[in-house]
Amino acid sequence: MADREKLDRLQENIFKVIVGRNETVKMLLSALLAGGHVLLEDVPGTGKTTLAKALAASLGCDFKRIQFTPDLLPADISGLNLYDQKAGEFRFVKGPVITNILLADEINRATPRTQSALLEAMQEEQVTVDGVTYPLQEPFMVIATQNPVETAGTYPLPEAQLDRFMMQLSMGLPDEKEEIEMLKRFENDEPLETLQPVMIREEILHLREEAGQVFIHEDLMAYLVSIVQKIRASERILQPVSPRATLAFLRALKAYAYLSGRDYVLPDDIKELAYPVLAHRIQVYGEKSEKAEVIRAALSSVAVPTEDFTHR
């Protein structure tokens, strides 16, 4: 089966459960192919957890879920050493983070100390417990859901952790037709329970390699960096975009172009991904909506290159 057909089957499998949200699913798969992590933020009941479960069920990989609560401890995530009386030695009990796809559900209901237990795993794909390091098997992807910070019982994620999410996505609310379709689909069945894997671990790794070969013209790299520099220079910025964000942006662009059936990046890809890749990484003076205005201002102030971007 061609790689394009594999990706089509993966998307179709997810859409057996998810109604609409085509662009959100495409962004999620782009992060998967780019080796990144995704933060899904929206009000409760919009399908954030369902989307994460649908992706995990569609992949023939190990999957774990952590329900974040205020009393969750770092060891509940990374694992701990327990003394085995029969063997007379300590034995490492793996935490749920040692998996391929990790669903961190309602991540901002846990304390910042517990949230930070994911930092090493997300950045270095390894876990260290009592001085011993345990590497994680690729692919490793964290899909975290969070309720808006205004929701009762939530803690804002530390900036260092937000910066390790490649994208922040929102499900949004369905329109009238989508909501009717959702009612019909879930009236008597639970599609998620019967969802079968359509891709194995080795295929995901192969697709990642293919996506990494997508061509991006030097002028587009310069265009990307100019946008980032403009955002950093904004007087409304409190927390600037990090170099890690620029690298994540590049990887996401290649994966997004690959999912779009191209082996080269276009300027429109940069415009499409600017907000989901950058917005959650910056802090602004004023309202949250100011982030979108800062990014729009940067996009409009940088001239779009007009070269032929299809050739090396």
pLDDT at 2: 61
State the pairing for strand pair 283-284/63-67: unpaired
Q: What is the pLDDT of residue 114?
A: 84
pLDDT at 150: 55
| pLDDT number for residue 265 | 96
**Residue-level pLDDT at 185:** 82
Q: For position 234, what pLDDT does the model report?
A: 86
User: Which pLDDT belongs to residue 257?
Assistant: 96
pLDDT of residue 1: 42
Taking 50 as the pLDDT cut, the residues of the chain under it are 1
The reported pLDDT for the residue numbered 109 is 86
Do residues 110 and 71 lie in contact, with contact meaning Cβ atoms separated by under 8 Å? no
- Record the pTM: 0.89
Please tell me the predicted confidence (pLDDT) of residue 151. Answer: 58
* pLDDT at residue 152 in the model: 58
Over residues 271-305, the pLDDT tens digits come to: 999 999 999 998 887 666 688 889 999 999 999 98
User: For 52-56, which contacts have Cβ atoms below 8 Å and span 24 or more sequence positions?
Assistant: 52/103, 52/105, 52/143, 52/145, 53/17, 53/103, 53/192, 54/13, 54/14, 54/16, 54/17, 54/18, 54/192, 54/195, 55/14, 55/28, 55/29, 55/101, 55/143, 56/101, 56/103, 56/143
pLDDT at 130: 84
